[in-house]
């Protein structure tokens, strides 16, 4: 008799699927319900699309080959296509039919296509052995769309928003970034900011980089540093997946989880996984660092140890900076996403704690002295990840709602889509058993008056039917289902992480 499952309502193995057949020509789906007439555009998604290459399996959920998904919504109908990102890593792995480039949690096997001379030469140019598998997010830079990741190669790929073809590779590391987050911020005028680290005059610095929008100039060639910050641990810059921005400040959160530069030497020499760089300091405080957008002056605050992947939103009000994020008590979330941990979760009594997050609010007094403690509270008693807001209206400003995926695996409503009122803590949800929705993306209605006037879009996987992906359309105010479109895929439908919606009146090329 099979052992009883600890978390019968959760199935994390949806993260371990492999797409074996791309869908190059868009397919039509079966519509249930009614899609609002005003909703016309393209939803692009990015995520891990292959858990296995030949006989080799990837060791971490973050590692699979990037698969781009496209839902075209037009005149009340939807089509779907998907295509692997044509990165150097993908080509080399496919050619060798093995995993020959190490990833975040996967150590590569020796590449049989490389000569002894190639391997020797790569020690003097380690970036040739760093994965450019951009499987995390997609963002527009001007009128072009790019797939992003956060490896030290600082590599992004331009993609065609219709065919999903990979058009070109941009390596921005020679200019201003060695490492960058997978979540830049886009300003209303088109300027883009991102945070990473770089060596300036021989000293490691966390930096803020501006990519100024221009119709005539390349945004990458004109990128420049607009803010710097000294890491609290000189040889251990803090790991950060995202950051915040307000009217006057860049908000950088130095959690007690870092990347060891000393370990990076052995990583390059041994071709070890990127995760070998991660150090944690569980007894250290978390620092909230405000870098003034005008003067560049930084000011530090501190709070109890907390860990995070995603900032929800930040803003200024009443002499304070408010920082909302999805918080964890430790860094076990990273461990929880290793393939072995996912496969054994049903027999791991600690797994629920590893992935347990809560939305928290930190408030820092701008007039308070350096390293003053931030006020800390839980917004709502619900697990949440992949948060999204009404970005165009509320990013960096006071707001009332965010949307997310519920993540408590020991809860019967795990995997539901939630709407959280940050003022009251009220939670509204959409839920369907054995359905696993992706990040909820908010799209405002054209005549919106309220913050939540619009719809939520989410790509949904089914637990039992591995060859099915759905596009779900919810009313963002009530979280009631308006429509869903079912697509039958020729091979397994895979989990995606982050995406972007392009309205028909704003078409990226």
pLDDT tens by residue, 1-49 = 356 899 999 999 999 999 999 999 999 999 999 999 999 999 999 999 9
pLDDT, tens digit, for every residue of 241-271?
A: 999 999 999 999 999 999 998 888 888 888 8
**Residue range 57-72: mean pLDDT, rounded:** 97
Give 116's contacts (C-beta < 8 A, 6+ positions apart): none
Instruction: Look at 97-101, 217-221, 245-249 and tell me which has the smallest mean pLDDT.
Output: 217-221
Query: How far apart, in whole angstroms, are the C-alpha atoms of residue 479 and residue 456?
Result: 8
Query: How far apart, in whole angstroms, are the C-alpha atoms of residue 337 and residue 105?
Result: 9
Between residues 112 and 393, which one has the greater pLDDT?
393
pLDDT band at 153 (very low <50, low <70, confident <90, very high): low
Query: How far apart, in whole angstroms, are the C-alpha atoms of residue 205 and residue 238?
Result: 11
Instruction: Look at 12-26, 110-124, 220-234 and tell me which has the smallest mean pLDDT.
Output: 110-124
**For the domain with range 12-503, which CATH number is right: 2.60.40.1840, 2.40.50.140, 2.130.10.10, 3.40.50.1000?**
2.130.10.10
Query: How far apart, in whole angstroms, are the C-alpha atoms of residue 259 and residue 246?
Result: 26
Extract the tokens encoding 466. 């591995």
pLDDT, tens digit, for every residue of 157-175?
A: 999 999 999 999 887 664 5
136 close to 149: Cβ distance less than 8 angstroms: yes
Instruction: Look at 3-12, 165-174, 326-335, 466-475 and tell me which has the smallest mean pLDDT.
Output: 165-174
Give the rounded percent of residues in the chain with a pLDDT score beyond 90: 82
Q: Is the pLDDT of residue 125 over 50?
A: no
Q: Among 30, 45, 20, 74, which Cα is nearest to 487's?
A: 30
pLDDT band at 380 (very low <50, low <70, confident <90, very high): very high
Predicted pLDDT at 351: 98
DSSP-derived secondary structure letter, 393: H
**Residue range 431-449: mean pLDDT, rounded:** 97
Distances (CA, A) of 235 to 153, 232, 264, 374, 431: 19, 9, 10, 26, 45
Predicted pLDDT at 266: 85
Extract the tokens encoding 300. 């530090």
Q: Is the pLDDT of residue 154 over 70?
A: no
Query: How far apart, in whole angstroms, are the C-alpha atoms of residue 13 and residue 56?
Result: 17
Query: How far apart, in whole angstroms, are the C-alpha atoms of residue 378 and residue 387?
Result: 15
325 close to 389: Cβ distance less than 8 angstroms: no
Give the rounded percent of residues in the chain with a pLDDT score beyond 70: 93
Q: Among 88, 133, 134, which Cα is nearest to 111's?
A: 88
Query: How far apart, in whole angstroms, are the C-alpha atoms of residue 287 and residue 254?
Result: 5
Predicted pLDDT at 450: 98
**Residue range 216-245: mean pLDDT, rounded:** 91
Q: Is the pLDDT of residue 90 over 80?
A: yes
Residue 220's region, left for phi above 0, alpha for psi from -120 to 50, else beta, is alpha
Q: Is the pLDDT of residue 177 over 60?
A: no
Q: Is the pLDDT of residue 115 over 90?
A: no
Distances (CA, A) of 250 to 137, 180, 246: 21, 15, 6
State the average pLDDT for the chain. Answer: 92
**Residue range 86-105: mean pLDDT, rounded:** 96
């Amino acid at each position: 008799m099979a052992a009883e499952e600890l978390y019968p309502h959760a199935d994390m193995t949806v993260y371990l699927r492999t797409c074996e057949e791309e869908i190059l020509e868009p397919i039509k789906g079966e519509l249930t319900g009614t899609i609002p007439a005003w909703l016309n555009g393209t939803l692009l998604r990015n995520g891990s699309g292959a858990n296995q290459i030949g006989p080799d399996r990837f060791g971490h959920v973050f590692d699979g080959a990037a698969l781009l998904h496209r839902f075209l919504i037009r005149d009340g109908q939807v089509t779907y296509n998907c295509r692997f990102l044509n990165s150097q890593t993908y080509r080399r792995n496919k050619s060798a039919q093995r995993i020959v480039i190490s990833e975040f949690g996967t150590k590569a096997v020796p590449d049989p296509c490389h000569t002894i001379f190639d391997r020797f030469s790569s020690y003097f140019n380690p970036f040739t052995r760093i994965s450019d598998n951009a499987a995390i997010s997609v963002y527009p830079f001007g009128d072009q769309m790019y797939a992003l990741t956060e490896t030290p190669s600082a590599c992004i790929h331009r993609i065609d928003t219709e065919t999903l073809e990979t058009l070109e590779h941009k390596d921005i590391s020679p200019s201003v970034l060695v490492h960058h987050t997978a979540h830049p911020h886009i300003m209303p005028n088109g300027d883009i900011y991102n945070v990473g680290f770089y060596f300036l005059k021989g000293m490691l610095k966390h930096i803020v980089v501006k990519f100024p929008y221009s119709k005539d100039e390349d945004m990458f060639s004109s990128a420049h540093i607009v803010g710097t910050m000294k890491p609290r641990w000189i040889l251990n810059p803090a790991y950060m997946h995202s950051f915040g921005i307000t009217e006057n400040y860049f908000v950088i959160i130095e959690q007690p989880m870092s990347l060891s530069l000393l370990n990076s030497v052995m990583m390059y020499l041994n071709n070890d996984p990127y995760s070998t760089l991660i150090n944690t300091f569980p007894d250290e405080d978390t620092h909230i660092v405000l870098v003034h957008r005008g003067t560049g002056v930084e000011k530090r605050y501190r709070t109890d140890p907390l860990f995070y992947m995603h900032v929800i939103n930040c803003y200024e009000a009443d002499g304070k900076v408010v920082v909302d994020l999805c918080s964890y008590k430790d860094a076990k979330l990273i461990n929880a996403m290793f393939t072995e941990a996912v496969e054994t979760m049903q027999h791991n009594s600690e797994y629920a704690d590893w992935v347990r997050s809560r939305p928290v609010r930190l408030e820092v007094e701008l007039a308070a002295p350096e390293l003053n403690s931030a006020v800390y509270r839980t917004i709502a008693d619900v697990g949440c990840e992949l948060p999204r807001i009404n970005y165009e209206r509320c990013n960096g400003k006071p707001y009332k709602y965010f949307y997310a995926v519920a993540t408590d695996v020991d809860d019967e409503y795990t995997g539901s889509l939630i709407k959280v009122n940050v003022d009251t803590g009220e939670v509204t949800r959409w839920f369907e058993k054995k359905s696993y929705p992706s990040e909820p993306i908010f799209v405002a209605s054209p005549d919106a008056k309220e913050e939540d006037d619009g719809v939520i879009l989410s790509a949904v996987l089914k637990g039992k039917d591995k060859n099915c992906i759905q596009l779900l359309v919810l009313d963002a105010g009530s979280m009631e289902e308006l429509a869903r479109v079912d697509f039958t895929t020729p091979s397994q439908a895979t989990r995606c992480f982050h995406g972007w919606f392009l309205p028909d009146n704003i078409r990226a090329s």
